[in-house]
Structure 1
């Protein structure tokens, strides 16, 4: 490995899920190779993901939305943290744009991985459009988790765009039996349909609630939603008011337990890249019903039933079809278990190749 590529700074903003876990995996892997790795981000991310256990952590106040004074402070802090680095790899649009501004006038290689699509409109949408143009102009390499993100960044003028490799971590073995999970959620033979999502606008949970209204022939399924977020109060109020067969489980660490008891994973999102919960369901051989958005179709192949985003009638129809046809469920389960999925080594190999191709970086 050439000396020029020894110091890498990984940058991220506020994260409570997949982005943080991905950066933690990269930091640990790159450090094991002998690289000098610094992770820069909000203090809350180090508390959540333990970056300082595998690399040096530098606190940088990258917030989850535009805040001019905080952003100026973040740019100045990043300029100091990235001094002497040969590669800066930012994760997320805001982190990427702030890193680009911090590197102005330097020859440091900049890689930006975009994990999410722009869904905001109005003034916030305009600001994020500006951030996209900054990243497109300044980044040496843009990595994307879905084809539509790549098309958007090319249209913004990005010079080099490639697919990101974002594997889910291995699932822990289940800690409870299916009977024990059912005793908590839905005793007897009632079908359990699992959704794992932050309770936020992007996840399309209003469509899930529309679909949950039914009607369904025979036993009404239980829709179990694992996750927390800003929409919890509004979702629970609607569930109670309409008597919907939906339970909000809150954040759960027992994903493997929930998956083994689920008849299907339901993903009603407005947009997704390479969602970890879909990868986990594929590894567990669980049938999937999902919206045909972002990177999902390419991930699932023939292992899922796909519906348009926001189409509650189509979602309800595919749920009913799966519940009524055990043979279909078996075929989807077999196809899920057979899907090829990337692992940690594939992700590390991909970033090594990207870093090595940067101007002056070497391998």
Structure 2
């Protein structure tokens, strides 16, 4: 951890007795989809159980494919049934119904916390941590922690969201960011005191460091792989332009895009217009096989927290070319290729270097793997969370 404060955490209402030995933790996230945050929460939940800590995973809206990864782990899963709220100018009746459903989900959360009596509630992502803080107060949970997993760009200019976040952060004992860039933005945007936030980087399990059998892909060209949701902020349009530039320079490649999202139709049209070989594979659960097949892994994001896709490529020694945004420089400095965002020329230059200078690509891939083995293992990530929870619980019991 970095930046752990020595002063007392924000008080949680009530005078309920606090157990001094950490034995019960609840984690909270929206659902168990294939995103990076969900992967880290599942990993943390399993690790807490391995430490002998009774662990409950609260799902705000629903389950998802990562639930299979918790089978037989001893983690208890509870779904709260929140559906989200329709914009009022679209359907007022539906909005009122959804608001009532959200209130019922909040009531179920409070009731569950009162029954389960966790010592620590750790909530991840915006909608969860703004619900978790007041629920923890009402249920007299001793320690409430909020997780920050990405930059707060989505809140810029949204005064209501920022106001709600500041209020709920005031009810929260501590904030954990997964990258120094994420922590710095939270400090700036939310006005957090420095002694109320720490950085614990994402972790990877032993299996993430094993090279899988390469996926079958019908192409004789070098393969460039990008694993990212097809959303504007991931910068795919600049990547496709970079691939076109590479082709014009005589370096034809096959670009494989794993992920799904609203930009898919636009990207399909752009690829056809540019005349480049792009394979859009949608959501996949066999990403390790495609990492093993790739010559280079690329992430062209315009903004980023701490990319699991970059970490997974580093873990098996693949050379990575990525934009220098968010927490990515923390991962790739001195063992990857960093380029400015929204710059297809620079992106093409970086890719060309890795595709043509095989010695440099191998050297950077090896250095990335060695760094990941030392700094990004799951055991270390879980241990640091356990140490933080214990520290906060002790401070609470001392008051």
Where on the TM-score scale, by shorter chain, does this alignment land: which range? 0.7 to 0.9
The match for 1:9 is 26
The match for 1:38 is 56
- Quote the Cα distance in structure 2 between the aligned partners of 1:321 and 1:52: 43
Measured after TM superposition, the shift of residue 271 of structure 1 is 2.0
Measured after TM superposition, the shift of residue 320 of structure 1 is 2.2
Q: 1:62 to 1:269 in 2, by over 3 A?
A: farther
Q: Which has the higher contact order (CA 8 A, sep 6+)?
A: 2
Q: 1:327 to 1:344 in 2, by over 3 A?
A: closer
Are the equivalent residues in 2 in contact too, given 1:12–1:62 (CA < 8 A)?
no
- Superposed counterparts of 1:205-220, under 5 Å: 205-216=236-247, 217-220=249-252
The match for 1:303 is 335
Q: Does 1:345 align with 2:379?
A: yes
Are the equivalent residues in 2 in contact too, given 1:87–1:110 (CA < 8 A)?
yes
- Superposed counterparts of 1:191-230, under 5 Å: 191-216=222-247, 217-230=249-262
Are the equivalent residues in 1 in contact too, given 2:223–2:293 (CA < 8 A)?
yes
The match for 1:119 is 153
Are the equivalent residues in 2 in contact too, given 1:93–1:131 (CA < 8 A)?
no
RMSD: 2.6
Q: 1:343 to 1:175 in 2, by over 3 A?
A: closer
2:202 aligns to what SS in structure 1?
A: coil
Are the equivalent residues in 2 in contact too, given 1:20–1:49 (CA < 8 A)?
no
Q: 1:153 to 1:172 in 2, by over 3 A?
A: closer
Q: Which runs of 4+ in 1 moved over 6 A?
A: 64-67
1:40 aligns to what SS in structure 2?
A: strand
Q: 1:239 to 1:64 in 2, by over 3 A?
A: farther
The match for 1:293 is 325
Are the equivalent residues in 2 in contact too, given 1:8–1:35 (CA < 8 A)?
yes
Most deviating of 337-346 and 43-52: 43-52
TM-score, normalising length from structure 2? 0.80
Q: 1:63 to 1:296 in 2, by over 3 A?
A: farther
After superposition, what is the alpha-carbon deviation per residue over 1:306-347, rounded to whole angstroms, capped at 9, x for unaligned? 112212221112222333322321221222222133222111
Measured after TM superposition, the shift of residue 300 of structure 1 is 1.7
Q: 1:230 to 1:278 in 2, by over 3 A?
A: same
After superposition, what is the alpha-carbon deviation per residue over 1:17-52, rounded to whole angstroms, capped at 9, x for unaligned? 222222222222222333222111146335532446
- Quote the Cα distance in structure 1 between the aligned partners of 2:234 and 2:385: 28
Measured after TM superposition, the shift of residue 174 of structure 1 is 5.1
Measured after TM superposition, the shift of residue 357 of structure 1 is 1.6
TM-score, normalising length from structure 1? 0.88
Measured after TM superposition, the shift of residue 353 of structure 1 is 1.2
Q: 1:253 to 1:46 in 2, by over 3 A?
A: closer
Q: 1:281 aligns with which of 313, 316, 320?
A: 313
Are the equivalent residues in 2 in contact too, given 1:10–1:90 (CA < 8 A)?
yes
- Quote the Cα distance in structure 1 between the aligned partners of 2:84 and 2:355: 39
Gaps of 5+ in 2: 1-18, 87-97
The match for 2:200 is 164
2:321 aligns to what SS in structure 1?
A: strand
